[in-house]
Structure 1
């Protein structure tokens, strides 16, 4: 509870600083809104020309990738900016300051910022998630609600763990912004590949998105199971919580390993 109060205080301070340049903040939000709007416009263009993608209709695909986007957006509020910027902190030696604070450096990294640029993505995700649900005939049971909620949480953990792992590489490479973007950026990174049914990709890419960088477990598999799609390996639709736990353990230990081997580079 104490961390929640600290985080809210940091958010207020962070946003007050951003509001000093309110025009810049407004332009950032407008730019991100336009970017996400263009993405959904492109999505509609695809389904204007095709009735379905490998048996998935427009609303099923929309429900699938907004499910993934919900987990992704909440994860990015906390972890995107710290893990993107840590390379600069290591390069300049400013990470030393985080090690001298009377708080865990990882928690301090997360608490001191709020990635408000993901608000448009979250808004669009919620809107189209509701929009798609209203057009699908899913007969929800208590078991389905628990299953879906657990997979949303697992998706949050998977996205967060991957972001932390890629950011931690900065302790050795110094600059890892490109690696973070390559794996986690939803506009041009690998994350973008899980916005559509993974059957459209090669077998190798399917394995990559399922077991190596398990983005397919954040939307495709759980939603396919809910929609009654024919999955060749149904058990994969139930392993998201296990994979999330494994990823979290890997990210936790990798981060501490990186901090332990950190050596200040200076300016």
Structure 2
């Protein structure tokens, strides 16, 4: 099947999603490895890290949770921080309501579990071409491959982390991974404001216990982005 041809069936759309997501899957392997290594470094076993990836499937939130666990934060604080990191999925689900409306109730639960930045962007981009019949299966094809890839990558990272000498500091890899996620997300003035304000506040509060500066910085950054977006919208009116 040619990549540019319209898939004739939902099954063909699913496999197109798998094919399209192959380069993306390769690109997130380093992030998965770092997450697996981080899990081992905070005291989890390779099996526990892998089960976390199987059940959670949220790279940025998992890494934040592991960082906070390593700092001794309470379960409630870990939960609250990951909730803030994943707030963007509320907007994603709203935007995908129409493209995925033909799925059954059970399949929508699966679609919600598999939702990540990559399949959200690709499905929304292809909706005009694939339509409501094929887009959900294209989306699921991307999500299934990325989920499998993420689970395997974090497992391999956990195995690697268990064998790394303590002298091999890999902390530098974490901010590098987040920079890779950040750059494509900054596409307008509100998102730039959110990134800059959140980063500056988090850096200024880096000395707070339990790495709570990350949580506060995220909240302030989101607030700055929303404020600027509303101000720009009011100006256009």
The reply to whether TM is greater than 0.5 is no
Q: TM-score, normalised by structure 2?
A: 0.31
TM-score (norm 1): 0.28
